[in-house]
Homo-oligomer: A and B are copies of this chain.
Amino acid sequence: VQRVRRLLARRSVRRADGAFVAEGAKLLEVALQLGAEVEAVYLAPEAGPDAVAVAERAGARGVRVFDLAPGVLGRVADTATPQPVLSVVRMPVPPPDVLVGAGFVVVCADVRDPGNAGTVIRTAAAAGADVVVCAGTTVDPYNPKTVRASAGSVLRIPIVVDVEVRSVLQGLGAGGVRRLGAMAEGGRGYDEVDWRAPCAVVLGNEAAGLGPEVGDLIDEQITIPMARQVDSLSVSTAAAVLCFAAARQRSNLQPMTAPAGHRATPQP
């Protein structure tokens, strides 16, 4: 249980241990469904029948399930109203060549808010991106808040961590991946971009955006045109618009929909 508390609290502990905590029955269910390596499950006395059932399914697959004594959960968990099931899950390690040959990459460059980063990961997974890169001072994707906001998608898509922004952009450029920097204004309209060639959308810090210090490593600045004098979108909203623009053109989604760019007129 001490391990769970430390895994929730500290990035350095998560890195050293190679594991993180998934809170709640829903996330355990996702982990089992995706075949993630679940090391241990901790079950609080307040767990309802659904949560107990998921923990039992984990147990049936050989996962050790521990019962927590009354009152222990509140001292361990990250939130004020903690989930009664805590699972220790091995951090998936993407293969070292995961960025080689990638068709669509999402790069978080100094995205600091755990909720934003988690939502970006969930969006990138849903839009069929190949990899998410959490670069620079971006929050740790295995932070409990990020895991929650990702709704389990930290387990669905390969995530590259602990890399500098400049070095990952240099590597992508050298690999022939077009680096598209998301800007609040002044860039090319995002829907005029060809998203079918290998590309990476680069999302900057919530307050500062993409800094000039990476300007030489961006191939094209792209912008979402906005109405009503709105001057910016949140990084997670921008990610949703851009990632699904890529998804439409790349038409790599199930169920298949014909991308809009290939029709003369919208269907009635």
Interface residues of A (CB under 8 A from B): 33-34, 119, 122-123, 125-128, 151, 153, 156-157, 189, 191-196, 224-230, 232-234, 236-237, 240-241, 244, 247-249, 252-268
Q: How many copies does the complex hold?
A: 2
Contacts of A236 in B (CB 8 A): 119, 236-237
From the candidates B156, B225, B230, B252, name the one contacting A125 in the complex (CB within 8 A): B230
**Shortest Cβ distance from A127 into B: residue:** B227
Contacts of A261 in B (CB 8 A): 260-261, 263, 265-266
Q: A258–B260 Cα gap in the complex (Å)?
A: 12
- If A193-B267, A240-B241 are given as contacts, then 12 extra A-B residue pairs at C-beta distance below 8 Å, sorted by A number, are A123-B237, A156-B228, A156-B229, A157-B228, A191-B260, A192-B258, A194-B268, A225-B256, A233-B240, A237-B237, A249-B266, A262-B265
Question: SS class of chain A's interface: helix, strand, loop or mixed?
Answer: loop
Q: Is the beta-carbon distance between A227 and B244 smaller than 8 angstroms?
A: no
Q: A237–B234 Cα gap in the complex (Å)?
A: 11
From the candidates B122, B226, B233, name the one contacting A230 in the complex (CB within 8 A): B122
Contacts of A228 in B (CB 8 A): 125-126, 128, 153, 156-157
Q: A254–B247 Cα gap in the complex (Å)?
A: 24
Q: Is the beta-carbon distance between A119 and B257 smaller than 8 angstroms?
A: no
The distance from the CB of A183 to the nearest CB of chain B, in whole angstroms, is 13
Contacts of A151 in B (CB 8 A): 230, 232, 234
Assuming the A-B contacts A240-B237, A241-B244, are A266 and B122 also in contact, with contact meaning beta carbons closer than 8 angstroms in the complex?
no
